[in-house]
């Protein structure tokens, strides 16, 4: 397969983004909108842990990532977006998966969402997005005028919100697809290629109609996945979507349009709920990358590791 090889002049210096005081401000912004809930994550507060394994693609695939040439253990956590631990599974927000493939020092940790693009491309935009959604005391809901003013001033964030409105919420975590938004740089026999990660459910993406959703309980995503796992494992294809020359690889808010090449890395199989000690408090810090994977160069990726560490510290405060 021929790929568009791209050279990246390192437009964004991740080192400059990895600043702990900035991280405190990002977590303040999340807590400001969702509240501080001791014991819970500042974002994706509601979720639960599972475990399984990664099974490599036959033939090893075209990506040169040694970790993924053999079967690996997987720990994961499914979640509902936002920082409210009691949020209903019916809420119109993203679903997430934290995923750790491998163990010890050689592992790939990722945190993916059900939306192909993220809602901000910088720390300032992340904070402004959240500030515009602080609940109005009079209504208990975000003020639509403030949300509109934010959207008008930040049109790059609108595709994220438009996607959420355009797709039916998933009927089970096992029938959702999950995306990185970021473009990683992957070693192949033809050189480095820029890719977005896609976790594609074996059963296909399946959404719920409003009528189906109406009478479901608020924890239906948890209930359903437990039931499905009771009947056997669930699987996703772990794929890399290869950037075309026209794609923006330095902004996770910008959709990639048209036809794309794919690299299939293998299968992520989830077998069981994970109730082992420590599993619920695991931090899915996306800066853990294996050999063959180079970090995204955008205005967001470098913010994440420190922010996740501050959130983890505040969980126990």
User: Where do contacts with ligand HEM occur on this chain (CB under 6 A)?
Assistant: 26-27, 41-44, 47, 77, 79, 96-98, 111-113, 118, 120, 126, 180-181, 252, 283-284, 300, 303-304, 307-308, 311-312, 315
Q: Which of 3, 60, 63 is nearest to 261 (CA)?
A: 3
Residue pair 244/19 in contact by the 8 Å Cβ criterion: no
Nearer Cβ to ligand HEM (56/154): 154
Cα dihedral 63→101→82→235 (10° resolution): 80
* DSSP code at position 70: S
- What is the rounded distance in angstroms from the CA atom of residue 178 to the CA atom of residue 102? 19
* Contact assessment for residue 82 and residue 134, using Cβ atoms and an 8 Å cutoff: no
Closer residue to ligand HEM, CB minimum distance, 57 or 80: 80
The Cα 110–Cα 31 span in angstroms is 23
Q: How far is the CB of 156 from ligand HEM (least distance, A)?
A: 14
Name the residue nearer to ligand HEM (CB basis): 191 or 255.
Answer: 255
Q: Which residue is nearest to ligand HEM (CB)?
A: 96
Tokens representing 191 are 């050189």
Shortest separation between residue 148's beta carbon and ligand HEM, angstroms? 22
Report the nearest approach of ligand HEM to the CB of residue 43 (Å).
4
Question: CB of residue 239 vs ligand HEM: minimum separation in angstroms?
Answer: 15
Work out how close the CB of 172 gets to ligand HEM at its nearest, in angstroms, rounded to a whole number.
17
Q: Whose Cβ is closer to ligand HEM: residue 56's or residue 286's?
A: 286
CA distance 174 to 268: 11
The secondary structure of 228-276 as a DSSP string is HHHT--EEEEEEEEEPPTTS-SS-TTSPPPS---EEEEEEEEEEEE--S
Helix, strand or coil, per DSSP, at residue 213: helix
| Closest to ligand HEM by CB, 57 or 126 | 126
Q: Indicate the residue among 63 and 197 with the shorter CB distance to ligand HEM.
A: 197
Minimum distance of ligand HEM from residue 17's CB (angstroms) = 9
């Amino acid at each position: 397969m021929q790929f568009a090889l791209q050279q990246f002049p390192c437009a964004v210096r991740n080192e400059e983004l990895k600043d702990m005081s900035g991280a405190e401000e990002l977590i303040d912004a999340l807590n400001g909108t969702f509240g501080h809930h001791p014991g819970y994550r500042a974002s994706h507060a509601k979720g639960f842990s599972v475990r399984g394994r990664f099974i490599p693609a036959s033939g090893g695939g075209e990506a040169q990532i040694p970790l993924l040439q053999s079967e690996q253990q997987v720990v994961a956590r499914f979640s509902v977006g936002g920082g409210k631990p009691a949020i209903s599974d019916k809420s119109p927000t993203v679903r997430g998966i934290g995923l750790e493939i491998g163990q010890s020092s050689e592992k790939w940790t990722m945190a993916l969402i059900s939306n192909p693009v993220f809602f901000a491309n910088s720390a300032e935009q992340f904070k402004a997005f959240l500030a515009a959604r602080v609940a109005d005391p009079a209504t208990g809901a975000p003020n639509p005028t403030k949300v509109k003013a934010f959207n008008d001033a930040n049109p790059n964030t609108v595709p994220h919100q438009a996607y959420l409105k355009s797709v039916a919420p998933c009927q089970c975590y096992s029938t959702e697809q999950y995306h990185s938004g970021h473009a990683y740089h992957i070693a192949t026999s033809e050189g480095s290629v820029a890719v977005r990660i896609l976790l594609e459910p074996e059963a296909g993406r399946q959404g719920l109609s409003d009528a189906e959703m109406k009478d479901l309980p608020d924890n239906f995503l948890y209930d359903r996945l437990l039931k499905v796992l009771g009947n056997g494992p669930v699987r996703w294809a772990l794929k890399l979507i290869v950037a075309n020359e026209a794609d923006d690889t330095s902004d996770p808010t910008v959709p990639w349009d048209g036809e794309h090449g794919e690299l299939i890395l293998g299968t992520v199989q989830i077998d069981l709920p994970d109730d082992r000690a420590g599993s619920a408090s695991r931090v899915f810090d996306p800066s853990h990358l294996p050999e063959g994977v180079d970090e995204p160069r955008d205005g967001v990726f470098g913010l994440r590791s420190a922010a996740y560490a501050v959130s983890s510290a505040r969980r126990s405060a």
